[in-house]
Chains A and B, each alone.
Chain A
Amino acid sequence: MTLQNASDADRARYQFQILFDTAAELSGARYPHKILEAFLLSAQGGIGARGGFAAILGRDGFQLMTRSSLSKSLTPEYAQVLREHLDALGEERKSSFFVPSLQGDLCPGKCELLLVCPLDDGQDGVLGLEESLTGQPYDENDRRLVAGLGTLFQTSLRFSLYAARVELLNAELSKRNDTLDRQIYHLSALGDLSREILRVDLPEVMDTFLLTLLGHFARPRGLLLLQDRASGCVFESSKGLEAKNEFSQQETERLFFQCLAGVREKHLQPLQTEPIDDLRGLEGIELGLRPDKGYLFMLRENMYGVLLLGESLGASLPAEDGLLQAFVSQGVLHLKNADSFATILSLNNDLERQNEELRRTIDDLTRARDRISMLEAAGRRIAGIVHSKAESLARVRLVDFLLIIVLSLGMALAFNEQNPRGIVLVEPPGPEIPFVTLDQALSLLDTEDALLVDARPREFYEREHAARAVNVPAQLFDLVYMMQMSAEDPERPIVVFGRSVSRRYDQIVAAKFLGRDHERVYIVKDVPPLALDGGSQ
């Protein structure tokens, strides 16, 4: 009994020693396969197993396994069987445990012990141990040792996996940091470019762009050309060229043709930048530099540009290409903005000029309108005058009467003055002829046998006259006097009568008698013819 106890104590001490050694060994192990190997060897040695295997079972199969005679037996099919069996146990798997149901014939190498150590993320450490070298079945101490080793294995493997994951994360983080640093550098460089290039004058933008580009990428030489195919204008900016070139139109055409031949995409779109892959076509052109990098871009329709960079002072890094491409794209965008600004400026100038012309035109039109208004007013005034004149022609006016009357009067007076048969307008006063009353006249007729003369025209005389009256009309005085009165005594009184409202026949005839040397001529007026003798026709 004492011997048995001593043997058990030795065995326990041995197992503890194994556990201690294994723990010491695993504490320095970082890699899972080392841990797996240490675990398998410790377990195999600790219980004297003939052989075994150790593996990490993932979701889809074995992820890692030790090299052993049973490695080939760890097939995916077995991994699937093992996984299904473990999943059937549920989620309550924390510490390591034996799986008796899969031991023996179901296990590769007919392992008598199958230990599963749950790990994280659905992984499990699996340890299989063949029969003992002694042929004896494993007892409880052996199982306890293997379980203890499993716990160590589980812990170590977890730490190892954690460490591996941390390293992986660190590596990935470092990589991301590098990427981020590069991106920050790129963005910073692009920001610098944007700040430097923040101008609107196209030649200035070209110079700044080229200078910034060359500075960032340590390239002492560069050439930037823009060609406006519509207007034929060529804009050039160059730095550090061996010889300053003035590109003619033909050379520029040739340069762009060669650059276009060297790019992959021949049909450029506005703001598209294409690297010139094949720069050999430019060798025949005197550029003043030996181009190392080249880009062909299109600002807008009929506006192309080419950027040629000389060799770098330092070693060229592959990551530089992306930044260079970004630089060029950014620069092209600024060039486009500058070109657009120039276009806008030109349009503004045109607009300003057109505005000025429009203003002058408006002024001219305003003046013309004023003139037209004035002419219209004058026209209306003239029309009014003409209308008034036309109306006045149709209207009877006093001036029309005056015109006709004055014209008639003037011509009448003028003609009468020149007419040999003209008459005097106002009768001149004749000789003084005494008037007598009716009684005096009758007395003269009765007492002195005076001659009674009726001076009225014959028609009036014949209609009514005094019995003693002799008709001597004024118009026929000379004829009647010659025929009837030439023998009359000049001393015989003559009483003449006959006047009307319109004619003083008596006055005319009496004057004519006086002219014939008759001394006693009298006129009786305002008496009817019959009153002179009381007789009738």
Chain B
Amino acid sequence: MRFRDILTHPLLSLLLRLYLAGVFIYASLHKINFPAEFADNIAGYLIVPHWLINPLAVFMPWLELVSGLFLLAGVRVRAASVLIGAMLAMFTVAVTVAMIQDTPIGCGCFQSVGEAISWWTVLRDLVWLAMAAHVYFYDRLVHLDRLFMLKPEELGL
């Protein structure tokens, strides 16, 4: 089996999908419970207007959770992977900008305190972004929304 085949194998994509789902579900849980802290984290990046901070702090953790659950269940996987990819791209840009401006803030990725942003954070987000792209293009195993769907060839027509 060639390396390209391994790299594009649907099973690998399934593993990446489950991993991303776990990461985003886990990341969302604390933010959902403590939206005010997450709002402060967002505000620390200095790129979101003040009137959007609270709605974003309330909405984004749930978007992470729902997207993660969709990835986990294999429902609307491509849309979920696109949304997760978009969020990762946004996080990457935000962290990159913060790193460039040397803004003294924590990452706020999983917990409100503790983890400071670094270039490793940027790299990690980029790796996750690549995983999301892989899921988008190659994932086709264990999809709940196709489980009960009759395939056209099964109709015998």
Q: Which residues of A contact B32 (CB under 8 A)?
A: 412, 415, 419
Interface code B25-66, partner A: CB below 8 Å = 1, 0 otherwise?
000000011111001101111111111011101110111011
**Does B152 contact A423, Cβ atoms closer than 8 Å?**
no
Which stretch (A38-46, A376-384, A435-443) binds chain B? Answer: A376-384
Q: Which residues of B contact A422 (CB under 8 A)?
A: 35, 58
Known A-B contacts A383-B155, A423-B54, A426-B54; the reply to A412 vs B149 at CB < 8 A is no
Q: Which residues of B contact A382 (CB under 8 A)?
A: 155, 157
**Does A393 contact B145, Cβ atoms closer than 8 Å?**
yes
Q: Which residues of B contact A390 (CB under 8 A)?
A: 146, 149, 151-152
> A482 contacts the other chain (Cβ, under 8 Å)?
no
26 contacting pairs across A/B (C-beta < 8 A) = A382-B157, A393-B149, A394-B140, A397-B79, A401-B82, A403-B79, A408-B62, A408-B66, A409-B59, A412-B32, A412-B61, A419-B32, A419-B33, A421-B36, A422-B58, A425-B54, A425-B58, A426-B55, A427-B50, A427-B54, A457-B40, A459-B105, A501-B47, A501-B49, A502-B53, A503-B50
Q: Which residues of A contact B62 (CB under 8 A)?
A: 408-409, 411-412, 415
**Does B157 contact A376, Cβ atoms closer than 8 Å?**
yes
> B150 contacts the other chain (Cβ, under 8 Å)?
yes
Interface code B90-125, partner A: CB below 8 Å = 1, 0 otherwise?
000000000000001100000000000000000000
Interface code A402-414, partner B: CB below 8 Å = 1, 0 otherwise?
0111011101110
Which of A415, A475, A503 contacts B53, CB < 8 Å? A503
The prevalent SS among residues of B at the interface is helix
Q: Which residues of B contact A409 (CB under 8 A)?
A: 59, 62
* Closest residue of B by beta carbon distance from A463: B104
Q: Which residues of A contact B150 (CB under 8 A)?
A: 386
Q: Which residues of A contact B39 (CB under 8 A)?
A: 423
**Does A400 contact B78, Cβ atoms closer than 8 Å?**
yes
Besides A501-B50, A502-B48, 7 new A-B residue pairs in contact (Cβ under 8 A), listed by A number: A386-B155, A387-B152, A408-B66, A419-B32, A459-B104, A500-B50, A502-B46
Which of A404, A412, A462 contacts B76, CB < 8 Å? A404
**Does A460 contact B78, Cβ atoms closer than 8 Å?**
no
Q: Which residues of A contact B66 (CB under 8 A)?
A: 404, 407-408, 411
* Closest residue of A by beta carbon distance from B82: A396
| Chain A residues near B (Cβ < 8 Å) | 376, 379-380, 382-383, 386-387, 389-390, 393-397, 400-401, 403-405, 407-409, 411-413, 415-416, 419, 421-427, 457, 459-460, 462-463, 475, 500-504
**Does A396 contact B54, Cβ atoms closer than 8 Å?**
no
Known A-B contacts A376-B157, A404-B70, A475-B40; the reply to A386 vs B151 at CB < 8 A is yes
Q: Which residues of B contact A407 (CB under 8 A)?
A: 66
**Does B146 contact A421, Cβ atoms closer than 8 Å?**
no
Cα distance, A421 to B76, chains bound together (Å) = 31
Least CB distance, B51 to chain A, in whole angstroms? 7
Q: Which residues of A contact B55 (CB under 8 A)?
A: 425-426
**Does B50 contact A502, Cβ atoms closer than 8 Å?**
yes
**Does B35 contact A504, Cβ atoms closer than 8 Å?**
no
Which of B65, B146, B157 contacts A379, CB < 8 Å? B157
Which of A387, A412, A460, A502 contacts B59, CB < 8 Å? A412
* Closest residue of A by beta carbon distance from B66: A408
**Does B155 contact A379, Cβ atoms closer than 8 Å?**
yes
Cα distance, A423 to B34, chains bound together (Å) = 9
Chain B CB count within 10 A is highest, among A407, A425, A504, for: A425
**Does B45 contact A502, Cβ atoms closer than 8 Å?**
yes
